[in-house]
């Protein structure tokens, strides 16, 4: 079975491209608004409604371990995967190309160390942000004697056949962070998701800026489900608020490019009344662009990266930080071990997704950690803290 899957994956690698492909979608409910354009092909109304409903849902699980908690659990049987340990756990990682993923991977490595009596070997392969490489990586892992395979896909549609081939090989597959267009993994783990993140940030910006004001939307890259759904939820909120989205620009996660984009829009429009971001890694660069231009920093969202939390506090910004917690990187290891024990797990496994506001900002500031560290790491009880994350 594994050999057949490997042949299938080699053919996929030969024909795949790194260009993101759209997934099947539902219909958007909001009318087109000024500057927001057509709704994303990733938008599914039922999923949008479900995620927004989870924002106020109560989680089950240990109160002090949000990475083990589940929102609205749906348990699935895993008895067929039960086997004696210790185990070899393999991980196909989309990339380590930004601070969020770097902090998350350190957290995962620490979780593996905490479980060292149950894990005899942990194999990690970095796809370096390339679909073709990740397809080849998964193909290679199928012949490495893995007891379970964890996948964080680089893009959604292109990696789907590769994940399906791994499932067909008989491995228990755990997908997390970014999704794929197949139901074959034992579980898909992520926080509430992109719709929740995008909605929280866009609703805040809309409410804090002047009615009908100008919004600049900054995105990282297209074709990744969690990022596409962040923007599609923001579009719904902006259309509803009737704000003027004057630009939707991709930054590639590059601070210098971000500064140039923001400066160009300041020069073009004079005033930008709100900034929405689908990820917070370049939030400080956006803030600095306004400062360099001698402009007031408008209401904006960032994320729980400490450099943004610090400048928010120091400059008394009007801001909010929806999060996509890096503590989720612990959960796939925990899930894989439970599956190999034959224990039931939830599918999907939806984790809590806290929001940092002005009221709780001080709780998450930590002057002893690096500026690119993420406050929601859930790592303070893990081996090597804090040195591993510095």
Same domain, 160 and 199: no
Residues 141 and 205 grouped into a single domain: no
Residues 303 and 331 in one domain: no
CATH code for the domain of 262: 3.40.50.2300
Under a CB-based contact definition with an 8 Å cutoff, are residues 368 and 215 in contact?
A: no
Residue 122 lies in a domain: yes
Query: Is 383 a member of any domain?
Result: no
**Residue 240 maps to a domain:** yes
The tens-digit pLDDT sequence of the chain (390 residues) is: 444 344 344 333 333 333 333 332 223 333 344 578 888 888 999 999 999 999 999 999 999 999 999 999 999 999 999 999 999 999 999 999 989 999 999 999 999 999 999 999 999 999 999 999 999 999 999 999 999 999 999 999 999 999 999 999 999 999 999 999 999 999 999 999 999 999 999 999 999 999 999 999 999 989 888 899 999 999 999 999 999 999 999 999 999 999 999 999 999 999 999 999 999 999 999 999 999 999 999 999 999 999 999 999 999 999 999 999 999 999 999 999 999 999 999 999 999 999 999 999 999 999 999 999 999 999 999 999 999 999
- Does 297 lie in the same domain as 333? no
Indicate the pTM of the whole model.
Answer: 0.86
Same domain membership, residue 276 and residue 218: yes
For residue 348, whether the previous peptide bond is cis, meaning omega lies within 30 degrees of 0, is yes
Q: What is the pLDDT of residues 143-156, one digit of tens each?
A: 999 999 999 999 99
166 and 224 co-located in one domain: no
- Provide the domain count of the chain: 2
In a domain, 36, yes or no: no
> In terms of domains, do 94 and 164 share one?
yes
22 within a domain of the structure (yes/no): no
- My answer on whether 298 and 210 are in the same domain is yes
Same domain assignment for residues 318 and 217: yes
Question: Of 300, 322, 344, which marks where a domain is finished?
Answer: 322
Same domain, 166 and 221: no
pLDDT digits (tens, 9 = 90+) for 248-282: 999 999 999 999 999 999 999 999 999 999 999 99
Are residues 349 and 288 part of one domain? no
Measured CA to CA, the distance from residue 223 to residue 229 in angstroms comes to 10
Residue 243: inside a domain? yes
Q: Is 179 part of a structural domain of the chain? A: yes
339/83 Cα distance (integer angstroms): 9
Q: Report yes or no on 282 lying in a domain.
A: yes
Q: Does one domain contain both 309 and 345?
A: no
Domain membership of residue 313 as a residue range? 194-322
């Amino acid at each position: 079975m594994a050999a057949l899957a490997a042949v299938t994956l080699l053919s996929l690698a030969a024909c795949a491209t790194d260009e993101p492909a759209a997934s099947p979608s539902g219909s958007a409910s909001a009318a087109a608004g000024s500057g927001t354009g057509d709704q994303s092909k990733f938008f599914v109304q039922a999923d949008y409604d479900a995620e927004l409903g989870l924002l106020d849902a109560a989680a089950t699980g240990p109160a002090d371990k949000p990475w083990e908690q589940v929102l609205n659990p749906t348990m699935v049987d895993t008895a067929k995967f039960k086997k004696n340990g210790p185990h070899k756990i393999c991980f196909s990682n989309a990339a380590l190309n930004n601070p969020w993923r770097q902090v998350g991977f350190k957290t995962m490595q620490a979780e593996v160390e905490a479980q060292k009596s149950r894990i005899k070997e942990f194999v990690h392969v970095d796809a370096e942000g390339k679909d073709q490489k990740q397809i080849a990586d998964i193909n290679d892992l199928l012949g490495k004697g893995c007891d379970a395979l964890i996948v964080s896909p680089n893009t959604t549609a292109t990696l789907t056949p590769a994940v399906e081939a791994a499932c067909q090989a008989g491995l228990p597959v755990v997908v997390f962070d970014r999704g794929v267009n197949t139901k074959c993994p034992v579980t898909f783990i992520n926080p509430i998701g992109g719709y929740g993140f995008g909605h929280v940030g866009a609703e805040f910006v809309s409410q804090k800026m002047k009615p009908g004001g100008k919004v600049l939307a900054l995105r990282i890259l297209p074709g990744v489900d969690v990022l596409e759904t962040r923007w599609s939820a923001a579009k719904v909120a902006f259309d509803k608020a009737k704000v003027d989205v004057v630009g939707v620009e991709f930054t590639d996660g590059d601070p210098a490019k971000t500064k140039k984009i923001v400066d160009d829009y300041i020069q073009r429009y004079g005033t930008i009344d709100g900034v929405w971001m689908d990820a917070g890694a370049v939030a400080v660069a956006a803030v600095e662009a306004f400062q360099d231009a001698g402009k007031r920093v408008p209401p904006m969202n960032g994320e729980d990266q400490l450099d943004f939390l610090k400048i928010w506090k120091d400059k008394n910004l009007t801001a909010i930080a929806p999060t996509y917690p890096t503590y989720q990187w612990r959960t796939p290891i925990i899930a894989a071990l439970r599956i190999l024990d034959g224990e039931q797990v939830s599918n999907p496994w939806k984790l809590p997704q806290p929001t940092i506001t002005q009221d709780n900002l001080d709780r998450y500031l930590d002057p002893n950690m690096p500026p690119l560290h993420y406050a929601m790491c859930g790592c303070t009880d893990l081996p090597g803290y804090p040195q591993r994350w510095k």
